[in-house]
Amino acid sequence: MNLSPATIDRIENTIPKYPDKRSAVMMLLHYIQDEQGYISNQAIEWVAEKLDMQPINVLSVVTFFPYYRQEDQKIGKVHVRVCRTLSCAMRGAYKVGDELSKKFGCKVGHSTEDGNVTLEYAECLAACGTGPVVLVDEDLYENIEANKLSGLIDEIERRVSAPEEATA
């Protein structure tokens, strides 16, 4: 496993916080996915050894939680999540999804061919009062209107063309 010293540091600092090592599994998977974009089989074995778990038990956590991705579900450089649950839907979330899908030429739930943008619907993002909302990587954009998407699209494109380090 090739992890950066910073990630190794985060991992070593996290494990002793928990009374039982196994509890750290979710945080470790977060750190690894932050760095590598997905959870590889090698990562699963590495985490298992680190936490005295069986690899199958790490895999079962990876497959349970939708946020963890394996190799075939890798997230693109920019991760765009449009909330589709009721409050946002009433305010036009599906139209936003359609427009973004048209703009970037990929179906919702997929990534663009160049792997730059992953466009998905998300379930309730807990910002219903300002719906529709869109989560771009770690930043939430609120009150998005389908006919006024240019600002959001510019932001996504800015992130696509930004150097790799800046988005990490």
Q: Would you say 76 or 131 has its CB closer to another protein?
A: 131
Min CB(66)–another protein separation in Å = 4
Instruction: Name the maximum alpha-carbon separation found in the chain.
Output: 52
Residue (106 or 127) nearer to another protein, CB: 127
Helix (H, G, I), strand (E, B) or coil at 78: strand
Beta bridge partners of residue 134, listed in sequence order: 82, 141
> Nearest Cα to 77, choosing from 102, 104, 50, 56?
104
Distance in Å, CB of 129 to another protein, minimum:
4
- 100 or 114: CB nearest another protein: 100
**Least distance to another protein, CB of residue 76, Å:** 17
What is the C-alpha separation between 121 and 85, in angstroms, rounded?
A: 9
**21 within 8 A of 56, measured Cβ to Cβ:** no
- What distance in Å separates the CA atoms of residue 82 and residue 13, rounded to the nearest whole number? 34
Residues at the site binding another protein, with contacts judged by CB under 8 A: 17-20, 22-27, 29-30, 51, 53, 57, 60-61, 64-68, 81, 84-87, 89-92, 94-95, 121-131, 135, 138-140
Q: Give me the least distance between CB of 57 and another protein, in Å please.
A: 7
